[in-house]
Amino acid sequence: VQLQASGGGLVQAGGSLKLSCAVSTIMFTVNAMGWYRQAPGKQRELVARIVNGGGTTYADSVKGRCTISRDAAKNTAYLQMNSLKVEDTAVYYCNVVGATEGIPRTEYWGQGTLVTISS
């Protein structure tokens, strides 16, 4: 199972970015998709997560600024980030939980995309 993440980059504080994560494997049943981030010297933390049925979870630090959505037909999740802050700087990792033919429900991680917010 391969995850293709994109959308990271360098923006000024107050700006916006949209991350995307696509599951490239066909016949993959998604249970949940989400984004985690890891800043230098810190532990990886949940940013946002969306489960089948549309339920979402957000870190307190991004509530009101980020929106996670999913295109089920494309097995792609999006993270719209607005009003970005310097402290949002981190490597963002896509996370997917799902199953495919012959493989039971498993957690997968993308390669990480760097988001840098300048002051």
- pLDDT tens-digit series, residues 63-99: 999 999 999 889 999 999 999 999 999 999 999 999 9
- pLDDT tens-digit series, residues 12-22: 999 999 999 99
| pLDDT at 101 > cutoff 90 | no
CA distances from 25 to 1, 37, 83, 117 (A): 5, 23, 33, 32
Q: Which token pair is 82?
A: 């607005």
Task: Determine the residue type at 113.
Answer: T
Residue 80 confidence (pLDDT): 98
Q: Which token pair is 94?
A: 């896509």
Mean pLDDT over residues 32-58, rounded?
96
